[in-house]
Chains A and B, each alone.
Chain A
Amino acid sequence: MNNIQSNKNLNSPSGAGGYSHIKATLALAKASFRSIMRSPSAVVFTLAFPLIFILVFGFLGGGGTKIDLAVKPGSDVNNPIIKSLQKISVIRFSKSTDLVAINKGLEKGDYDAIIDVEKNPAGMPAFITHVKYTSASMDKGSILKSILNEVTYNLNTQNLKPTITEIQATTVTARVYRQIDFILPGQLGFSLLSTGVFGTAFVFFSLRQNLVIKRFFATPVRRSSIVLGEGIARIGFALLGALVIILIGHFGFKFTLIHGATTVINMLILATMGVIVFMGFGFVVSGLAKSESTIPPISNIITLPQFLLSGTFFSVDAFPTWLQPISRALPLTYLNDAMRQVAFEGAGLWDVKHQILILVLWGIGIYAVAVKTFKWE
């Protein structure tokens, strides 16, 4: 306390012309970035949630459709029908031998069908196959039905010359479109949306409420530096999160990155555009909110519909036609769409200019509203 006297010669008085707005902006960006990294909710929403969804869907949907088929206890198993079915990867045989449990499972749809093959005492045909489907799982039942038709046709015609036609089908070898290729860009969009909207709204509201901004105003800092510094930190954090998600997806779940690093950079450029647009929503929310507790509901009104309708989990094409126009109005739809095209189809940024244009239009619109609603004090 006794070295106050040294105050004067410690630093030169901030004389005319020496003030740097860039330094002030960077100081704010650094402070904000540190603060975000230590904020549990930011880390949870930006990284933990999307990663959990990716994990769940990555493991769940790994193999695509599976048909659970139970074999009736006492059924013959050493016959060409069962042997052929066992070679078909879509069919997963149940090991259960408890008929009561199997029947219960059928009712609940845990099993898609039960099969029972018996030797024909009459001799021709050699085997009789009984299949019981369940109304709980009609779609998989019909897949099984056509598999069985093909199997029996092949077995029955093994030694016959076709009389009318023989189908010779080949499959184009293409990139495997995994579940992760759909889920990851959606989760990335969700991550950017939450950090943009919730993060921005909470930070600016609390800075205003706790008079932090007022204290800033007592320094020579410009308002634009405050917004810019905060923006740099948030974009930096969002991109770091996006990079972690992409890398975990790529190395852990074989997420397709067609052109490798170039694809990643393109995705990060899209992510930057996305988070800037979403921050606009955050600014609006921070201005509209009357108290801290009104931020989550208002933010959810903005994020939830996009979360559900913008093709985060399901393709927009899967929605009923009346819902699709709503989906096609939301910015996240276009971000997700662009991300998927860039990552899986190897599109360049120019190829997704339509999506980018709509994002830019959203950006202009939302910042026009933000300028009207944002409050400094």
Chain B
Amino acid sequence: MEKKNVIISVKDLVKNYDDFKAVQGLSFEVYENEIFGLLGPNGAGKTTTLEIIETLRQKTAGEVIVDGFSVDTDANAIKRIIGVQLQAAGYYPNLNLVELLELFSGLYGVSVKPMEMLEKVNLQDKAKAKYKALSGGQKQRFSIATTLINSPKIIFLDEPTTGLDPQARRNLWDLIIEIRRAGTTVVITTHYMDEAEQLCDRVAFVERGQIIALDTPDKLIDDLVASGFERKKEVKKANLEDVFINLTGQEWRE
């Protein structure tokens, strides 16, 4: 990250739902081609923040600029350059994956070959399957395929690995890294700190609608250690997940 072009800039973002203040003056920047993590407990305001940037939700106050476009005036221009994976989103009923991808290419106004999109996420064998019939990991990979249809500059992934088994989770990490390598900026939310540590170039911790820390995972860990923090238990060279993967194999099975 020598060159740091800001692609998303959020300034003093506020979102109130009636009495509830979901987001209270949040500011951060996302750099081009990085994997940026929004971390924090449930209800901290991560999803609300993402949905405001994705132009799906109106903000109460503040400024959000995505690749030079303001969410207030250029929502449609933003929609064309982003890919969005929603937490728990469904897809049009009774259609198979190829037909769903055809629908999305129509919605984005681009012509893509559905099979090529499916190959990118390794679902070519499931071309004729219905979304409902997919496993958890396959569903997430398909969701990611729909975010790539318009060759977006930025994709947003909201808890993409929640509920997946370790193999499927690692497989999805590989996919996300691959997407970033192709030049796409990735904004991701997660509850798994090991995931954030592995994937993200920088992370922001959100708590009660505010950012309480923002830096590279390394720097945040070093700062904590420098403050005198020590783990109660001696860290071993492997953890239980390593044992799991070692015993059950690397390849994911679905």
B80 & A214 in contact (Cβ 8 Å cutoff): no
**Chain B residue contacts of A206, Cβ below 8 A:** 93
Contact check: which of B80, B82, B112, B146 meets A11 at CB < 8 Å?
B112
A-side interface size class: 35 or more
- Interface pick from A22-30, A152-160, A256-264: A22-30
A8 & B79 in contact (Cβ 8 Å cutoff): no
Contact check: which of A8, A38, A220 meets B80 at CB < 8 Å?
A220
- Bound complex: CA A19 to CA B107 (Å): 9
A5 at the interface (CB under 8 A from B): yes
- Bound complex: CA A24 to CA B110 (Å): 10
- Bound complex: CA A221 to CA B108 (Å): 7
- Bound complex: CA A186 to CA B231 (Å): 78
Contact check: which of A11, A12, A24, A210 meets B106 at CB < 8 Å?
A24
- Listed residue (B88, B103, B119, B178) with the most chain A CB atoms within 10 angstroms of its CB: B103
A31 & B92 in contact (Cβ 8 Å cutoff): yes
B151 & A210 in contact (Cβ 8 Å cutoff): no
A218 in contact with B56 given A31-B92, A39-B94 (CB within 8 Å): yes
A35 at the interface (CB under 8 A from B): yes
What does the 1/0 interface line of B132-176 toward A look like (CB < 8 Å)? 000000000000001010110100000000000000000000110
**Chain A residue contacts of B146, Cβ below 8 A:** 215
A-B contact pairs, 27 of them (CB 8 A): A1-B121, A1-B122, A3-B120, A4-B178, A7-B184, A8-B151, A13-B151, A14-B80, A14-B81, A14-B151, A18-B109, A23-B109, A24-B106, A24-B107, A26-B106, A27-B102, A28-B107, A34-B95, A39-B94, A210-B93, A211-B90, A212-B91, A212-B92, A215-B146, A218-B56, A218-B82, A219-B104
* B interface residues with partner A (beta carbon < 8 Å): 54-56, 76-77, 79-82, 84, 86, 88-95, 99-100, 102-112, 116, 119-122, 146, 148, 150-151, 153, 174-175, 178-179, 181-184
Kindly list 12 other residue pairs between chains A and B, CB separation below 8 angstroms, not including A13-B153, A39-B94. Answer: A1-B174, A8-B182, A10-B151, A11-B112, A27-B105, A30-B103, A206-B93, A211-B90, A218-B54, A218-B86, A220-B76, A220-B109
* A interface residues with partner B (beta carbon < 8 Å): 1-5, 7-8, 10-14, 16, 18-20, 23-24, 26-28, 30-32, 34-35, 38-39, 206-207, 210-212, 214-221
